[in-house]
């Protein structure tokens, strides 16, 4: 056999094997880089979004909201603060899984109402938004009341055969896992109505996001106090010699009373 041909064949085989190994290393490196990019994107999303509702979180809302409010060429904006009334009763009576269902439903309704506008969950049962367009056109009615009506539509907690949907097991720190008892399991369909107190104020040019949210928060507490003062049914015939029972105030109103020194 010709030695030259033999050496040429060996060199060709070696170079082919080297190219194949290099190709495999390149493909592996590309896959690792893609995985790192996905992990980084997931980490960034987790850092800026609420894991339960999928809405931007407080940190993201303040970052993007401040930029939007400071834009000199922005459209008219209204700052909105939403707080659910007596939400703790849902958790106490039906469990945290039911509370999660309510929060996800409210978040979805608020996002649908806002469209492309910025909406966030600030924490607990408190949400915020920066609205534009017809949603804040006061000349067409009371937008805060309209939004409150949208959010206060009855919420079904489960159907006749399935338990309340639990949080994704892959989510960090789930409030309940699939082994936790479901207080609604085996019961009839349940629908709850959770009212929402809404504060909505226009954001004038030159105002900061913190100032606008502070005013919206004040308006929200005005709306919540008005709900607390709504007449409630009292006993038709109180016992002789006893005073009419005082209508109990809700925790939010009590907290504001204490803060004011009353």
Catalytic residues: 125
Q: What secondary structure letter does DSSP report for 136?
A: G
Cα–Cα nearest to 167, from 90, 86, 89, 98: 98
Please work out, in degrees rounded to the nearest 5, the angle formed at the alpha carbon of residue 167 by the alpha carbons of 176 and 126.
95
Alpha helices in 49-198 (DSSP H): 58-70, 87-94, 96-114, 143-151
CA 122 to chain centre: 7
Consecutive H or E run containing 79: strand 78-84
Cα–Cα nearest to 100, from 9, 163, 188: 163
Cα–Cα nearest to 79, from 147, 132, 124, 42: 132
CA distance linking residue 143 with residue 137, whole number of Å: 7
CA 142 to chain centre: 24
Cα–Cα nearest to 192, from 94, 117, 118: 94
CA 100 to chain centre: 10
Q: What secondary structure letter does DSSP report for 229?
A: T
């Amino acid at each position: 056999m010709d030695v030259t041909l033999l050496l040429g064949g060996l060199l060709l085989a070696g170079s082919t094997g080297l190219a194949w190994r290099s190709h495999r290393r390149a493909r592996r490196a590309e896959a690792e880089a893609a995985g790192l990019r996905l992990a980084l994107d997931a980490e960034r999303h987790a850092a800026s979004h609420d894991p339960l509702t999928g809405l931007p979180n407080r940190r993201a809302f303040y970052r993007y909201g401040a930029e939007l409010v400071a834009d000199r060429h922005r459209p008219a904006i209204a700052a909105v603060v939403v707080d659910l009334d007596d939400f703790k009763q849902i958790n106490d009576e039906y469990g945290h899984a039911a509370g999660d269902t309510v929060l996800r439903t409210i978040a979805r309704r608020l996002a649908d109402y806002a469209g492309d506008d910025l909406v966030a969950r600030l924490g607990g049962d408190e949400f915020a938004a920066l609205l534009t367009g017809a949603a804040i056109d006061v000349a067409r009615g009371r937008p805060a009341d309209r939004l409150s009506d949208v959010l206060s539509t009855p919420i079904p907690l489960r159907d006749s055969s399935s338990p309340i949907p639990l949080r994704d097991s892959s989510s960090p720190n789930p409030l309940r896992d699939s082994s936790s008892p479901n207080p609604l399991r085996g019961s009839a369909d349940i629908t709850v109505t959770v009212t929402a107190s809404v504060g909505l104020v226009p954001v004038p040019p030159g105002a900061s996001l913190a100032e606008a949210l502070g005013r919206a928060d004040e308006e929200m507490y005005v709306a919540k106090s008005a709900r607390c003062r709504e007449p409630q049914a009292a006993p038709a015939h109180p016992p002789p010699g006893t005073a009419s029972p005082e209508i109990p105030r809700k925790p939010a109103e009590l907290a504001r009373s204490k803060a004011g020194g009353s």
